Amino acid sequence: MPLREIRKERSTDYSVIHAITEVAFREMPFSDGDEQVVIDRLRSAKALTLSLVAVIEEKVVGHIAFSPAKAGDDSCPWFALGPVSVLPDLQRQGIGSALIESGLEQIEDLGALGCILTGNPEYYRRFGFALSPKNVPPNEPEEFFMLKLFKATRAAGPFSFHKAFYGDA
């Protein structure tokens, strides 16, 4: 199935994004099962800097979220990637990669110094992310915390994700 469009989310997409995210993470061993709720909390807090959907034949099949992140040295702007989700029967067909590439390009255009995430290093290295144990936020696993620099030449101190990631909005 060819990818027809990547576009910004619309209010009519909210329930579909919630459902796609829930089903995409349902069988993932590293998932807390709350990724869809994190997106809802980020949206409620007006902390979704960029929220994109992948559309095939007018059906939303994938989603990616970018939210503000805070650097240890208070430099800004930094962003956090995630969650990113694709319907399970359409995974491994390049939809997630297309969402990530489009989103990274767009946040770089917004002047991002860089982007952080907690995720699978094997997967995210292809997008230019590298493990960054010196910058791990509290309560995040060091072996999965990654960083990609855009305008910044280095990152100082531990980062933090938006509080919506941890249940506060």
Domains and CATH numbers, the chain: 5-166 (3.40.630.30)
Looking at residue 25, its pLDDT comes to 86
Looking at residue 3, its pLDDT comes to 62
Q: Which of 123, 91, 128, 132 is nearest to 107 (CA)?
A: 128
DSSP class of 72: T
Alpha-carbon distance values, 77 to 26, 67, 110, 167 (Å): 32, 10, 9, 23
Length of the chain measured in residues:
169
pLDDT band at 71 (very low <50, low <70, confident <90, very high): very high
Taking the C-alpha atoms of residue 18 and residue 31, their distance in angstroms, rounded to an integer, is 15
pLDDT in tens, 74-111: 999 999 999 999 999 999 999 999 999 999 999 999 99
Taking the C-alpha atoms of residue 47 and residue 136, their distance in angstroms, rounded to an integer, is 21
Alpha helical stretches, state H, 54-136: 95-109, 121-124
Does 169 have pLDDT greater than 60? no
Alpha helical stretches, state H, 7-94: 14-25, 35-44
pLDDT in tens, 104-152: 999 999 999 999 999 899 999 999 999 999 999 988 889 999 999 999 8
Over residues 56-71, mean pLDDT: 96
